[in-house]
Amino acid sequence: MPVGVVDVGSNTVRLVVWRAAQPIRSERTLLRLGADVEAHGEIPADKLSLTADVVGRYADLARAEGVDRLEVLITSPGRQAANGHVLAELLEAAAGCPVRVLTAAEEGRLAFAGAIDAASPPPRRVVAVVDVGGGSAQLVVGSRRSGPRYTQSIDLGSQRLTSRLLGEDAPGAKAVRQARAEVARYVARLEPPPVRSALAVGGSARALRRLERGQLGPDELAHAIDVLTDTPTADVALGFGVEEQRARTLLAGAVILSGLQALLGVPFEVVRGGLRDGALAELASRRAAA
């Protein structure tokens, strides 16, 4: 039987349905909850209602696929919004299934599990997994054999940094310098152990890999930032095959990834596995054990 997860993030709400560890349905809706939280400190009533409508519709779609184990996960909007508990209550009623507001540590652990499963590094290799979302970024270090041993989060993601400092289209070098300084202030608090390799997951990393056509090391990230600094969003979307809404926050994602890459000292390999994959695997495991 298939299992399903609805992921309510800072930029999008996504539905993924798995059968036998293979995706059979995927849907997403752009809601930009993180921008509302950054601007107002909470999610406005109309956006709460819209989110509940989307999640309720996705729950119906999942059940139409035969899903009998469905879970709704709320990431940084649930933690950062003053009315995050209201969001959780409304979504539980709309979906008719369990809703979890993930802690930063839980979000990182699930992203780590999904990335490690996708990349399958040597069992003992110490690997960093970085997941830059819209409202926060997770850094987890561990190995495939022993699991996570270091988990930290910063309350700064691509949507929040865009709203805060990079809101102008083609914001220019001065705004980028300010954004780099903001990222450095958050990253300075992190003290991860040494790693052999690093994996990057999430929409920003995948879009940047398309732009740079390979791993994301210091040179590639510096080049991406240079290109994005003075290129209008519409031109980025058209020229690199990136959705316009993703293109709008891509510079912020690149600045955050650059700060974390410098901290780790190794280039990022971009992998498709991540939070939702880890959550689906965990849900399938619980279902099998029941």
pLDDT tens digits for 38-95? 999 999 999 999 999 999 999 999 999 999 889 999 999 999 999 999 999 999 999 9
What class has domain 3-102? Answer: alpha beta
Cβ contact 139:152 at 8 Å = yes
Query: Structure pTM?
Result: 0.92
Could you tell me which of 140, 146, 139 has the C-alpha nearest to residue 122?
A: 146
DSSP state of 216: B
Query: pLDDT band for position 290 (50/70/90)?
Result: low
Q: What share of the chain is helix, strand, coil (3-state, %, to 5)?
A: 50, 20, 25
35: pLDDT strictly greater than 80: yes
Q: What is the pLDDT of residues 114-136, one digit of tens each?
A: 999 999 999 999 999 999 999 99
226: pLDDT strictly greater than 70: yes
Q: Where are the beta strands (DSSP E) in the chain?
A: 3-8, 12-19, 22-30, 69-74, 99-101, 127-132, 137-143, 147-154, 197-201, 268-270
Q: What mean pLDDT is reported for the chain?
A: 94
Please give the pLDDT value at position 242: 84
Q: Spell out the domain ranges in the chain.
A: 3-102, 119-270
* Matching fold, domains 3-102 and 119-270: yes
Helix (H, G, I), strand (E, B) or coil at 29: strand
Q: For the domain made up of 119-270, give the CATH fold.
A: Nucleotidyltransferase; domain 5 (3.30.420)
